[in-house]
A and B are shown apart, each in its own frame.
Chain A
Amino acid sequence: MTSFKPTRRTLLKTGTAAAAFATLGPAFLRQAAAQDADLAPYKSAQIDWQQVSGETITVAVIPASYFENLIALAPQFKALTGIDVRFEKIPPAQIRQKSVIDLTSKTGTYATHAADPMYYALYAANKWVEPLDTYLADKSLTDPAWFKLDDIIPAWRSANGIDGKLYGMPYDGEVTIQVYRKDLYDAKGLKPADTLEAYMSNAAALNTPNDRVWGAALRGVAGAGQNMYIYPSIFREFGGDWMKGGKLTVNGPEAEAALAWYVDIMKKYAPTAAANWNWPDIADAFSQGTVASYIDAHSSASVINNPEKSKVIGKVAYARWPKGPSGKRTTSIWNWGFPINSALPEKKRKATWLFIQWAASAETQARTAHKFAGPTKRSGVNRTSVWKDPDYIKLMNGFGENFVEATMGALQEDTDVDWRPRVPQWPAIGDTMATAIQSALSGQASIKAALDDAQRRIEPMMRG
């Protein structure tokens, strides 16, 4: 259950304390659940938490510490509501497949699942999941003054909404930021890049493969959530518009310039293997001191600060995305949200909503983050109020210089709901784009040819 402990070391300078926690394992978490079992903060909500007591729901999540922490608190939810929650952990690549099969077949296996924000267009178009506004508006189910929807990061709410309706409640999310080696930058008198151009020249200045230090690295491996996770930010920063004149467009001058920048930095200043790297590989390389900078999820800070493997602790600093030619910085608006499966009977839907409300509440967010008793705390909480909590900030500042500022700045100013094309056909489009980007990165196709080919493939999907 807690096999992912080492990720979010909270930089207790004492590795020993962490190691002691790690060996205690599940016993420790059970204790954590019990010792915090104070339900008063929840009971102040003006709703009957026990209204569907006795129900059982199954929730699919991915194996990740931020969900492990939630699972550890499940006994508290049971005590509060009388609802049993069965968690099923499914790897990220399969959770989409399994939940789509479940939703199409209307079998109602998963009451809710950790959902990819890019899938809501598909879910909503098929009415597979419920619009959450009815639940939010129902006074018997939600106390708005207690739940404070507005406190939940607005960018993530819009990422999980279609036509102004919320379909998935953000639980944990991330922004993409620059991560760099302050010691190397200082030695050359460099500053974190303010523009993509400067990012390229910084990378050039630090690229010394003979000393096993490469200038930069970005996710290169093909996949809707891999290269097609980084490229959309670059595309938007170059002024690209996915829905040009109402038509999904992936080629054209902005796209070519954006992909050229991506290919350029990967070919010239990244380790050759980075073309096949996903972000854990980048973080692994950075933690071994072989990469001077990367742009990726802020949550990777926990890996590069893991005392068990990182050699760069204390040398790391952060900054927001460099600006593109359009003058914009564009972060990912990735978050794992919880939708409600429409195929469920009414009582189970209510139980699911109570679970979602509990998981997304400020109290549970804090209890799974800085107030969590185990060694790994979350760094992707869904609420502005928690992000402003001094205890939380203190914890996050342990990751390195400017971490909280860069992350908060990105969350508040660099988010962009049209970061990726939000259409029901996304799964196929994401894969097509991933293949196109890969063929350009590997040099199999010219940049223009790769993008034009992707456009040709995507057009029939949009007609269908």
Chain B
Amino acid sequence: MTAKRLRIIALLAISTVFLLAWAFPIVWSVMNSLKTDSDVLAYPPKLVFTPTWEAYRDVLFGSGSILPNLLSSVIISVGTTVVTMLMAVPAAYALARLRFRGKKFAGFYVLATQMLPPVGIIIPYFLVLRNIGWIDTYQGIILIYLSFSLPFAIWLLVSYFEDIPFEMEEAAYLDGASRLKTLWRIIIPQVRGGIAVTVVFVFLNAWNEFLFAVVLSGNTVRPVTVAMFNFVSVEQTLWAKLAAVSVLAMLPVVVLGVVAQKHIVKGLTVGAVKGGGRR
């Protein structure tokens, strides 16, 4: 009894330490976003202070408003996610089910593109986009984002497709359904969880991307990750505003996470248990 209790206490203590460490940056950002510049710098750090929305008002409606940047981020992330999923679902299905020449190679190739360090390919990408006049355009950035989101999505989805018993498909064929119809009506509903997980990850990767965005974007298309960097100026760091933008940039991600949580958990466990449905 006491041993069990001790164990629980120890586990609780450990998880509290981890939780504090992980939550600290977020709590810090939220608090600083509600402070004035002089409160941010106060020592000892003020835990009790009069909250102000000034930083939010400035970054949203002030002269350096980040609203256009948030819109840029939404367009890029949604665009990337939609195009990725439209292509990844059939591709993953093909890799999981069909037999064709070079399938093994194709499977490897999909993974191989993930092995290059992004910083090494950024300049070639810049040159390509420059030559086709797509620097600082949505299609340009989405095209480049596809280069990492698509392999990732395919790779993730293949394992979900492989887990679906082939018998289910056969049953559909026996009833006279075409392959596409089977995919749409039978398979996809089965991998809803997997698709939700993939959508969330693809969206998150696109939303949080900075390295490519900073080089390939300009005045027209400037996602929030790049824009918020301007609050760290050569003259001073605008802590409260930086924190406010961070919180705003986190919001959609948090909302998406909460909404998709059910699917994520289900999707992850479905993918985890092998053998059950596999041939």
**Interface, chain A (partner B; CB < 8 A):** 1-4, 6-7, 25-26, 62-65, 86-89, 91-92, 94, 97-98, 101, 105, 107, 109, 212, 280-281, 283-284, 287-288, 290, 299, 302-303, 308-309
Interface locus among B6-14, B166-174, B192-200, B235-243: B235-243
**Interface, chain B (partner A; CB < 8 A):** 36-38, 41-43, 58, 62-64, 123, 126-127, 130, 135, 214-215, 218-219, 229-238, 241
For B58, the chain A residues whose CB sits under 8 A away are: 3
For A4, the chain B residues whose CB sits under 8 A away are: 233, 235-236, 238
For B214, the chain A residues whose CB sits under 8 A away are: 94, 98
- Could you tell me if B215 and A64 are in contact, using CB atoms closer than 8 angstroms? no
Report which of B42, B64, B135, B219 forms a contact with A3, defined as CB distance below 8 A: B64
Majority DSSP secondary structure for residues of A touching B: mixed
Closest chain A CB from B184 CB (angstroms): 44
- CB-nearest residue of chain B to A28: B63
- Could you tell me if A288 and B235 are in contact, using CB atoms closer than 8 angstroms? no
Known: A98-B215, A109-B135. A92 touches B43 (CB 8 A): no
- Could you tell me if B218 and A3 are in contact, using CB atoms closer than 8 angstroms? no
* A3 CA to B230 CA, complexed, in Å: 9
- CB-nearest residue of chain B to A212: B43
- CB-nearest residue of chain B to A25: B63
- CB-nearest residue of chain B to A86: B219
For A7, the chain B residues whose CB sits under 8 A away are: 233, 235-236
Known: A105-B126, A105-B130, A107-B130. A62 touches B41 (CB 8 A): no
Q: Given A4-B235, A25-B63, A280-B233, output 8 extra A-B contacts at Cβ < 8 Å.
A: A4-B236, A62-B233, A62-B234, A88-B218, A105-B126, A107-B130, A280-B234, A309-B38
Closest chain B CB from A164 CB (angstroms): 29
- Could you tell me if B43 and A303 are in contact, using CB atoms closer than 8 angstroms? no
- Could you tell me if A288 and B41 are in contact, using CB atoms closer than 8 angstroms? yes
- What are 15 A-B contacts defined by CB distance under 8 Å? A2-B63, A3-B63, A3-B231, A4-B233, A4-B235, A25-B63, A64-B233, A64-B234, A91-B233, A92-B234, A94-B229, A98-B214, A280-B232, A280-B235, A308-B37
Closest chain B CB from A387 CB (angstroms): 20
- Could you tell me if B238 and A64 are in contact, using CB atoms closer than 8 angstroms? no
- CB-nearest residue of chain A to B126: A101
- Could you tell me if B41 and A25 are in contact, using CB atoms closer than 8 angstroms? no
* A284 CA to B219 CA, complexed, in Å: 30
For A3, the chain B residues whose CB sits under 8 A away are: 58, 62-64, 230-231, 238, 241
For B43, the chain A residues whose CB sits under 8 A away are: 212, 288, 290
* A49 CA to B123 CA, complexed, in Å: 37
* A64 CA to B238 CA, complexed, in Å: 12
- Could you tell me if B236 and A284 are in contact, using CB atoms closer than 8 angstroms? yes
Known: A2-B64, A88-B218, A309-B41. A64 touches B235 (CB 8 A): yes
Closest chain A CB from B257 CB (angstroms): 28
* A155 CA to B238 CA, complexed, in Å: 31
- Could you tell me if A281 and B235 are in contact, using CB atoms closer than 8 angstroms? no
- CB-nearest residue of chain A to B58: A3
- Could you tell me if A299 and B235 are in contact, using CB atoms closer than 8 angstroms? yes
- Could you tell me if B63 and A26 are in contact, using CB atoms closer than 8 angstroms? yes
* A65 CA to B64 CA, complexed, in Å: 13
For B135, the chain A residues whose CB sits under 8 A away are: 109
* A401 CA to B54 CA, complexed, in Å: 33
3 closest A-B pairs (Cβ-Cβ)? A3-B64, A25-B63, A26-B63
Closest chain B CB from A380 CB (angstroms): 11
- Could you tell me if A281 and B237 are in contact, using CB atoms closer than 8 angstroms? yes
- CB-nearest residue of chain B to A108: B130
- CB-nearest residue of chain A to B210: A94
Known: A25-B62, A288-B43. A63 touches B130 (CB 8 A): no
- Could you tell me if A97 and B235 are in contact, using CB atoms closer than 8 angstroms? no
Known: A2-B64, A212-B43. A88 touches B235 (CB 8 A): no
For B231, the chain A residues whose CB sits under 8 A away are: 3
For B218, the chain A residues whose CB sits under 8 A away are: 88
Report which of B130, B219, B236 forms a contact with A303, defined as CB distance below 8 A: B236
Known: A98-B215, A101-B123. A1 touches B63 (CB 8 A): yes
- Could you tell me if B37 and A6 are in contact, using CB atoms closer than 8 angstroms? yes
Known: A63-B233, A280-B236. A308 touches B63 (CB 8 A): no
* A6 CA to B240 CA, complexed, in Å: 13
Report which of B37, B42, B236, B241 forms a contact with A283, defined as CB distance below 8 A: B236
* A310 CA to B120 CA, complexed, in Å: 43
* A308 CA to B235 CA, complexed, in Å: 15
For A105, the chain B residues whose CB sits under 8 A away are: 123, 126-127, 130
For A299, the chain B residues whose CB sits under 8 A away are: 235
* A101 CA to B233 CA, complexed, in Å: 22
- Could you tell me if B230 and A65 are in contact, using CB atoms closer than 8 angstroms? no
* A20 CA to B215 CA, complexed, in Å: 37
For A87, the chain B residues whose CB sits under 8 A away are: 219
- CB-nearest residue of chain B to A302: B235
Known: A284-B41, A303-B236. A91 touches B123 (CB 8 A): no
Closest chain A CB from B147 CB (angstroms): 18
Closest chain B CB from A9 CB (angstroms): 12
Closest chain B CB from A272 CB (angstroms): 14
- CB-nearest residue of chain B to A88: B219
* A62 CA to B126 CA, complexed, in Å: 21
- CB-nearest residue of chain B to A283: B236
* A26 CA to B38 CA, complexed, in Å: 24
- CB-nearest residue of chain A to B37: A309
* A225 CA to B127 CA, complexed, in Å: 28
* A376 CA to B126 CA, complexed, in Å: 36
* A430 CA to B127 CA, complexed, in Å: 27
Closest chain A CB from B68 CB (angstroms): 12
* A87 CA to B222 CA, complexed, in Å: 14
For A280, the chain B residues whose CB sits under 8 A away are: 232-237
* A3 CA to B237 CA, complexed, in Å: 11
For B236, the chain A residues whose CB sits under 8 A away are: 4, 6-7, 280, 283-284, 303
